[in-house]
Amino acid sequence: MSGWSGYGENATALTEQYESVAFADVHRDVLHLFPSRPGRVLDIGAGTGRDAAALAALGHEVTAVEPTAELRSAGMRIHAAQPIRWVDDSLPELAVVRRQGGRYDVIMLTAVWMHLDQAQRAIAMPHIAGLLNPSGRIVMSLRHGPVPEGRTMYDVSAAETIELAESVGLRCIHRNDREDMLGRGDVSWSFLGLEAR
Domain boundaries, the chain: 2-196
Under the banding of pLDDT at 50, 70 and 90, the label for residue 1 is very low
The Cα 116–Cα 124 span in angstroms is: 9
Between CA 109 and CA 126 the distance in angstroms is 14
Q: Which of 46, 95, 55, 92 minimizes the C-alpha distance to 73? A: 46
3, pLDDT greater than 60: no
Give the HSE-up count for residue 136: Cα atoms under 13 Å, Cβ half-sphere: 20
pLDDT attached to residue 8: 47
Helix (H, G, I), strand (E, B) or coil at 47: coil
Helix (H, G, I), strand (E, B) or coil at 173: strand
Is 0.85 topped by the overall pTM? Answer: yes
Read off the pLDDT of residues 34-48 as tens digits, 9 standing for 90 and up: 999 999 999 999 988
For residues 7-15, give the mean pLDDT: 53
- The CATH fold of domain 2-196: Rossmann fold (3.40.50)
